Copies of this chain bind each other. A is one copy, B any other.
Amino acid sequence: MPQFLTTTQADFEMAFTALLGMKREDSPEVDADVAAIIAYVRARGDQAVIDLTARFDRLQLSPETLAFSPDEMAAEVAKVGAEDRAALELAAERIRAYHLRQMPMAEESWTGPHGETLGWRWTPVSAAGLYVPGGTASYPSSVLMNAIPAKVAGVERLVIACPTPDGALNPLVLLAAHLAGVDTVYRIGGAQAIAALAYGTDTIEPVDKITGPGNAWVAAAKRRVFGKVGIDMIAGPSEILVIADGQTDPDWVALDLLSQAEHDVSAQAILITPDEGFARAVGAAVERRLETLDRREIASASWAEFGAIIVTRDLAEAAALSNRIAPEHLELCVADPDALSARITHAGAIFLGHWTPEAIGDYVGGPNHVLPTARSARFSSGLSVMDFLKRTTLAKMTPAALAAIGPAAERLAQSESLGAHGLSVRARLDRLNG
């Protein structure tokens, strides 16, 4: 059974703090293994990748078969039925439209008080690699969510690394790659794929940025190559927080909670409501739905171990608790979701009103479903075009501007004992004065 708390109970603060601090994921200690894998790939390149793929994925590759050929891609894509294809196309179109709105002005510049020009320019990352997990966690929707922002940003070369254990893969993943404009899909995974993307091999050109979710090995490898390449974030298990005023069908809210719980035994689903009767009704609805859910074993384990129902005095208190949780997904199943939304300071994504189940956001809403987990919405954002852009700042002084602000720069350089800094300004000032 999940925890059932009320904010009026004497030990609520203690219980809530414990809920906040709950460690949901025991990452295995893979760092030493990952370091060895990265070193092996850097030393032996293709051969290391092929060797490790044979060992971990039971798949014998050659440099020629590391990537799917265009013919292989086409053959796999042809396996996808019309209805799945239409659904994926609708998702791609809506995700593209949303992310196009995120594009900043390519360049901004203005003139400062002394005639100097200041500004900045945005440019895309040249090459990006998307990691796509294999097996049951191989989601075509994640391919769209990672690849489309990259293409919208203007990334020229976009590749995917997706392991195919025993050669198996989901053709929808390849269709999603195709729809999103991915150039190459490599049949490789794990830390070896991350190392190959970061450092390159004879066959695999290195990229500048790596995004996408993965297991503990992938996460540890991304942490290690960070700096050599950019990475998006270290993803943790998924979470949902539903704030409800009690005027929604309890069954809807139960399904929304379960749609996160079914992801992973480490996922977390929390309901906060001021209506205790509704809270109990949702709890009962979850139990009923669990009986018939396909993924009931996973969802039950997640709900029992990490689920929680919290009864508050009012919705304002619910919003305050939500801000302490900083949830990845926040559903506001209330009569006036906009008013409540205005009170939310930390959340990855907000789903407003009774007609916006979180699952809409996973697929076709438009916003990205790669979102900050494990309370990291306190300091980070979901994936966006910004992850595939970088800004170059611009400054152009005139002689008058240098005359006006140069002496202050010279002074500060001296105070920091950086002589050449000061002299580089002084030499120019002397010319102006001479």
A428 x B391 contact (CB < 8 A): no
A346 x B378 contact (CB < 8 A): no
**Selected contact of A381 from candidates B94, B140, B345, B391, CB within 8 Å:** B391
B359 x A411 contact (CB < 8 A): no
Min CB–CB distance A241 → chain B (angstroms) = 13
B262 x A419 contact (CB < 8 A): yes
B83 x A411 contact (CB < 8 A): yes
List the B side residues contacting A363 at CB < 8 Å. 408-409, 412-413, 421
A289 x B420 contact (CB < 8 A): yes
Min CB–CB distance A94 → chain B (angstroms) = 7
A367 x B412 contact (CB < 8 A): no
Give complex CA distance A252, B35 in Å: 45
List the B side residues contacting A366 at CB < 8 Å. 112, 118, 395
CB<8 Å pairs between A and B, sample of 11: A87-B409, A123-B345, A140-B412, A258-B420, A294-B417, A355-B396, A355-B428, A359-B421, A362-B413, A381-B390, A384-B391
B418 x A262 contact (CB < 8 A): yes
Decide yes or no whether A117 CB sits under 8 A from chain B: yes
Decide yes or no whether A149 CB sits under 8 A from chain B: no
Q: How many copies does the complex hold?
A: 2
Nearest residue in B to A354 (C-beta to C-beta)?
A: B428
Decide yes or no whether A86 CB sits under 8 A from chain B: yes
B355 x A397 contact (CB < 8 A): yes
List residues 251-291 of chain A with CB under 8 A from any CB of chain B.
Answer: 251-252, 255-256, 258-259, 261-263, 289
List residues 207-237 of chain A with CB under 8 A from any CB of chain B.
Answer: 208-209, 223, 226-227, 229-230, 233-234, 236
A393 x B368 contact (CB < 8 A): yes
- What count of chain A residues pass the 8 Å CB interface test? 126
A380 x B411 contact (CB < 8 A): no
A416 x B139 contact (CB < 8 A): yes
Decide yes or no whether A203 CB sits under 8 A from chain B: no
B229 x A421 contact (CB < 8 A): no
Give complex CA distance A368, B338 in Å: 36
B101 x A108 contact (CB < 8 A): yes
List the B side residues contacting A255 at CB < 8 Å. 420, 423-424, 427
Min CB–CB distance A314 → chain B (angstroms) = 22
Decide yes or no whether A59 CB sits under 8 A from chain B: no
Q: Which of A1-9, A185-193, A399-407 is the interface stretch?
A: A399-407
List the B side residues contacting A120 at CB < 8 Å. 102, 367
**Selected contact of A293 from candidates B226, B381, B420, CB within 8 Å:** B420
Contact with B along A179-208 (1 / 0, CB 8 A): 000000000000000000000000000001
**Selected contact of A252 from candidates B263, B354, B395, B424, CB within 8 Å:** B424
A425 x B359 contact (CB < 8 A): yes
A392 x B88 contact (CB < 8 A): no
Q: A348-B392, A379-B390, A395-B356 are in contact. Are A91 and B428 (CB under 8 A)?
A: no
List the B side residues contacting A344 at CB < 8 Å. 392
Q: Closest 3 CB pairs between A and B?
A: A230-B379, A367-B393, A352-B396
Decide yes or no whether A78 CB sits under 8 A from chain B: no
List the B side residues contacting A393 at CB < 8 Å. 348-350, 361, 367-368, 371, 382
Min CB–CB distance A172 → chain B (angstroms) = 6
A208 x B379 contact (CB < 8 A): yes
Min CB–CB distance A253 → chain B (angstroms) = 9
Decide yes or no whether A47 CB sits under 8 A from chain B: no
B424 x A358 contact (CB < 8 A): yes
Decide yes or no whether A364 CB sits under 8 A from chain B: yes
Decide yes or no whether A386 CB sits under 8 A from chain B: yes
B357 x A87 contact (CB < 8 A): no
Q: A360-B409, A392-B344 are in contact. Are A125 and B227 (CB under 8 A)?
A: no
Min CB–CB distance A231 → chain B (angstroms) = 9
Nearest residue in B to A294 (C-beta to C-beta)?
A: B419
List the B side residues contacting A87 at CB < 8 Å. 407-409, 411-412, 415
